[in-house]
Amino acid sequence: MSIRSELNLRASRFGDARKSCTKCMGIKIIMGLLILGTLAGCSPIQPWVKPYEREHFADPIMSFNRDPVSGTYIDHVYESREGSRGATGGVGGGCGCN
Amino acid sequence: MQNRIAGIVAALVIALPAVAADPTGPAPEFVLPAKGGSQIDLAKYKGQVVMLNFWASWCGPCRQEMPLLEDIYKKYNKLGFTLIGVNVEPDSKAADDWLKQTPVSFPVLYDKDSKVSRMYDVSGMPSTVIIDRKGNLRFLHHGYKPGDESEYLNSIRSLIRE
Amino acid sequence: MQLRWFNPWAKALAALCLVGTPAIADVLPDDRADVLYHNYDGGGITIQGPSVLVRKKVGDSLSFSASYYEDLISSASIDVKLSASPYHETRKQEGFSVDYLHGKTIYTAGYIHSREPDYSSNTAYYSISQSMFGDLTTVTFGFRRGWDDVFRDVKVNGVIQNDPTFQRQADHRGYTLSVSQILTRNAILDLNFEAITDQGYLQSPYRKIRYFDPTVPGKQFTLADQIYPGTRTSTAASADLKYYLPFRAAVTGLYRFYNDTWGITGHTVELDYTQPYRHFIFDGSIRYYRQNNANFYSDLFPRADYSNFEARDRELAAFHSISLGFGAAYEFHVPYARWINKSSLNFHFNHLMIDYSDFRNALLAGDGVYTAGTEPLYKLNANIYQVFVSIWF
């Protein structure tokens, strides 16, 4: 088998396997989240940082995404020049309000 | 695969936590310093319906709720009801600054070392507790969303009539 | 001839974050409006433009946002100079999203459309964010789907116009899982995991590879079309820790690991420091990034038709980069506007330095000193400015 056709075969097999695996991964994530949500409802774990002790997290300097427009822009600059992408989202924690 | 997901979703719906039941038993007693310098003892309010509101200046819904609490206090104060605000911040400067801009006429106490917050098991901000004339816990509400004040009023009115 | 200088999916993906997941799962994001001017200058490219975001609550449970973004690109980059002529291009992007709060859950859905003369992309996304364990933990799951149309411009009689014979598609799917966890009174940890799959035409129609060709006098290389695989799957995982310092400051440490089926592995490390002072908030950051090359990348292929897939995009090369950042925000009050709670004027500056390990400055080949493959490795220095005004109401 020539190098080209072998590479072709390897790449396509690789590509197809990876394609279906991502869909599996997505479904696994959904299931994991649902299970986590179910457990959270009947969890015996008590919050070790009380709501009245969370004043620092209400401070804007403790926010992961204080300036969303600026943060998005600089992420975009890096992503345009690099091979890496993803996992840059910042989701904050509860301040204990409501 | 689809059946598995449906099964888990069904389990999640069933397992959703039940609405918290109303508290019972005597309200824990405490003495705390108030804005203005005096010491306030909860026991002195026996015979009145008391609403305790745990709040902090950094908590948005708490700040949103305060003017409504002021209205409730002004309306029912002469009918055997009192409202006491308990500020949970270790450093009360931010709270005092905010109260200068949005003053309230009901007593505000400082729970700097979270002693009373722990006694009342404050698990959400803000938290509102209503105590009847005999000193028993009767109503508990966590958080604040516009419209919650009608729940407070229902509880206050029925307890005043007792 | 025009040239798209960045990864097509990167645009749609980064644009997504413009109206990304909410900060807290049980409170809707604040109402705000931001107007930003951005300017990137480096490596022969200048890109500038506005970025606008408006977010408003309607009632107690809904929050809407709308965004607009533009890139005015003026490019005479090393890639453009090698295989094309300098060009100007404008990319425009609009997006909107809605957040719905129910109990301790926020449901978000949004749409982004990006358009430039030779590329059009549409992205739809939704996410669910759930607050749990006494609000110490927020778990978010997100999914997005992108559809891109790729066109090509050609120069006909000195005039740049669309090539009607060329139209391709690219499809994208992304899954994200984020966990935000309050650790102590002063520390919060953000964990992010993201898997992305692309399918279709994933390369630039303009960039070329080069192969060693001794028959070409001086330069000794010939340009040829790139051939990319038709699929790409990547996974990235990051941990971001923020710590509150007792004199009111915040320090942040981030690490991200990236890996994909093209053979690229990337590591990102970033340290940030935030220091408020009176009406100011100052930020300082240092970011280090390193990646190896894609397995079908080469700066100079040994001969024509060397392998099935060939690329010379420097985004897929092996390199490391350092970015130094500084920011200052000034909080002020707008007189006679009681409806504005807070407003700030902000300035951010970044200096980005990229050192390529296997991408050479091919423009220097044949100048009498360098031949193909012996030119110096390329280095890039860029200055990035942002000026913006934010108001909260």
Q: Which of C75, C175, C301 to mutate to test the interface with A (most CBs of A within 10 A)?
A: C175
| Residues C292/C263, Cβ–Cβ less than 8 Å | yes
What phi and psi, each to the nearest 5 degrees, are found at residue C221? -145, 160
Chain segment B22-50, per-residue pLDDT in tens: 678 899 999 999 998 899 999 999 999 99
Could you give the CA distance from residue A38 to residue A27 in angstroms, rounded to a whole number? Answer: 17
Report the first-to-last Cα separation within chain C, whole angstroms.
46
Tell me the residues of chain B between 88 and 147 that have a Cβ less than 8 Å away from chain A: 88-89, 111, 114, 117-118, 122-127, 142-145
pLDDT higher than 80, residue B155: yes
Q: Which residues of B touch C27 (CB under 8 A)?
A: 60-61
What residue in A sits closest to B17 (Cα-Cα)? Answer: A41
| Residues A93/A57, Cβ–Cβ less than 8 Å | yes
Provide the pLDDT for residue C81. 86
Nearest-CA distance B39 → chain C (Å)? 29
Please judge whether C141 and A33 are an interchain contact, meaning their C-beta atoms are less than 8 angstroms apart: yes
| Residues C210/C301, Cβ–Cβ less than 8 Å | yes
Provide the pLDDT for residue A27. 65
Provide the pLDDT for residue B147. 84
Name the residue with tokens 């709720």: B65
What phi and psi, each to the nearest 5 degrees, are found at residue C36? -125, 145
Q: Which residues of C touch B60 (CB under 8 A)?
A: 27
Provide the pLDDT for residue A32. 63
Nearest-CA distance A38 → chain B (Å)? 5
- Residues A79, A83, A89, A90: is their CA dihedral positive or negative? negative
| Residues C367/C343, Cβ–Cβ less than 8 Å | no
Nearest-CA distance A12 → chain B (Å)? 26
Please judge whether C291 and A82 are an interchain contact, meaning their C-beta atoms are less than 8 angstroms apart: yes
Q: Which residues of chain C have pLDDT under 50?
A: 1-7, 9, 12-24
Which is nearest to C67 in space by CA: C7, C17, C125, C18?
C18
Q: Which candidate from C26, C184, C229 shows the least CB-CB separation from A49?
A: C184
Tell me, yes or no, if C134 comes closer than 8 A to chain B by beta carbon. Answer: yes
**Burial of C335 per CB tally in 10 Å (0-12, 13-18, 19+):** exposed
Provide the pLDDT for residue C3. 38
What is the number of alpha carbons within 13 Å of residue C125 lying toward its C-beta?
Answer: 33
Q: Which residues of A touch C11 (CB under 8 A)?
A: 76, 80
Provide the pLDDT for residue B4. 61
Name the residue with tokens 């390193």: C290
> pLDDT band at B144, cuts 50/70/90?
confident
What residue in C sits closest to B60 (Cα-Cα)? Answer: C27
| Cβ-based neighbour number of residue C299 at 10 Å | 24
Q: Which residues of A touch B124 (CB under 8 A)?
A: 51, 96-98
pLDDT higher than 50, residue A6: no
SS3 B27: coil
Q: Which residues of C touch A92 (CB under 8 A)?
A: 23-24, 138, 180, 188, 190
Cis amide linkage into residue A51, ω under 30° from 0? no
Q: Which residues of C touch A85 (CB under 8 A)?
A: 7, 9-10, 13, 194, 196, 234, 236, 258
Range scoring the smallest mean pLDDT among A70-74, B144-148, C304-308: B144-148
What phi and psi, each to the nearest 5 degrees, are found at residue A70? -70, -45
Ranges of H-type helices in chain B: 2-15, 60-76, 93-101, 115-119, 148-161
Q: Which candidate from A11, A51, A91 shows the least CB-CB separation from C229?
A: A11
Provide the pLDDT for residue A15. 43
Complex confidence, ipTM:
0.92
Tell me the residues of chain A between 51 and 80 that have a Cβ less than 8 Å away from chain B: 51-55, 58-59
Q: Which residues of C touch B123 (CB under 8 A)?
A: 134
Mean of all residue pLDDT scores within chain A = 69
Please judge whether B61 and C27 are an interchain contact, meaning their C-beta atoms are less than 8 angstroms apart: yes
Its pTM surpasses 0.90: no
Chain segment A32-70, per-residue pLDDT in tens: 656 665 555 555 667 889 888 888 998 999 999 999 999
Q: Which of C308, C316, C319, C353 to mutate to test the interface with A (most CBs of A within 10 A)?
A: C308
Residue type, A57: F
Could you give the CA distance from residue B49 to residue B136 in angstroms, rounded to a whole number? Answer: 10
- Residues B141, B147, B149, B150: is their CA dihedral positive or negative? negative
Distances B4 to A19, A33, B114, C388 between C-alpha atoms, Å: 22, 14, 46, 49
Which is nearest to B123 in space by CA: A96, A21, C222?
A96
Q: Which candidate from C235, C252, C266 shows the least CB-CB separation from A83?
A: C266
Tell me the residues of chain B between 22 and 61 that have a Cβ less than 8 Å away from chain A: 54, 56, 58-61
**Burial of C166 per CB tally in 10 Å (0-12, 13-18, 19+):** middle
Tell me, yes or no, if A23 comes closer than 8 A to chain B by beta carbon. Answer: no
| Residues B128/B52, Cβ–Cβ less than 8 Å | yes
Provide the pLDDT for residue C22. 34
Chain segment B35-91, per-residue pLDDT in tens: 988 999 999 999 999 999 999 998 888 988 999 999 999 999 998 999 999 999 988
Task: Kindly write down the DSSP assignment for every residue of A15-32, as one continuous string.
Answer: HHHHHHHHHHHHHHHHHH
Tell me the residues of chain A between 17 and 76 that have a Cβ less than 8 Å away from chain C: 18-19, 21-22, 25-26, 29-30, 32-33, 36-37, 40, 43, 45-49, 51, 53-54, 56-57, 59-65, 67-76
Q: Label residues C67-83 b or e (16+ Cβ within 10 Å = b).
A: bbbbbebebebbbbebb
| Residues B53/B149, Cβ–Cβ less than 8 Å | no
Q: Label residues C236-252 b or e (16+ Cβ within 10 Å = b).
A: bbbebbbbbeeeebbeb
pLDDT higher than 90, residue A93: no
Provide the pLDDT for residue A56. 92
Nearest-CA distance B126 → chain A (Å)? 6
Provide the pLDDT for residue A7. 43
Provide the pLDDT for residue B8. 54
| Residues B22/B28, Cβ–Cβ less than 8 Å | no
Q: Which residues of A touch C284 (CB under 8 A)?
A: none
Q: Label residues B24-54 b or e (16+ Cβ within 10 Å = b).
A: eeebbebebeebeeeebebeebeebbbbbbb
Q: What is the DSSP letter of A72?
A: H
Provide the pLDDT for residue C357. 97
Report the first-to-last Cα separation within chain A, whole angstroms.
66
What phi and psi, each to the nearest 5 degrees, are found at residue B69? -65, -40
Report the first-to-last Cα separation within chain B, whole angstroms.
57
Q: Mapped to the 3 state alphabet, what secondary structure does chain C carry? A: CCCCCCCHHHHHHHHHHHHCCCCECCECCCCEEEEEEEEEEECCEEEEEEEEEEEEEECCCEEEEEEEEEEEEEECCHHHHHHCCCEEEEEEEEEEEEEEEECCEEEEEEEEEEEECCEEEEEEEEEEEEEECCCCEEEEEEEEEEEEEECCEEEECCEEEECCCCCEEEEEEEEEEEEEEECCCCEEEEEEEEEEEEEECCCCCCCEEEEECCCCCCCCEEEEECECCCEEEEEEEEEEEEEEECCCEEEEEEEEEEEECCCCEEEEEEEEEEEEECCEEEEEEEEEEEECCCCCECCCECCCCCCCCEECCHHHCCEEEEEEEEEEEEEECCCCCCCCCEEEEEEEEEEEEEEEEEEECHHHECCCCECCCCCCEEEEEEEEEEEEEEEEC
Q: Which helix (DSSP H) or strand (DSSP E) does residue A6 occupy?
A: helix A3-41
Q: Which chains touch C (3 or more CB pairs under 8 A)?
A: A, B
Nearest-CA distance B13 → chain C (Å)? 14
Mean pLDDT, residues A8-18: 45
Provide the pLDDT for residue A91. 29
Could you give the CA distance from residue C126 to residue C107 in angstroms, rounded to a whole number? Answer: 7
Distances C108 to C129, C133, C172 between C-alpha atoms, Å: 8, 21, 19
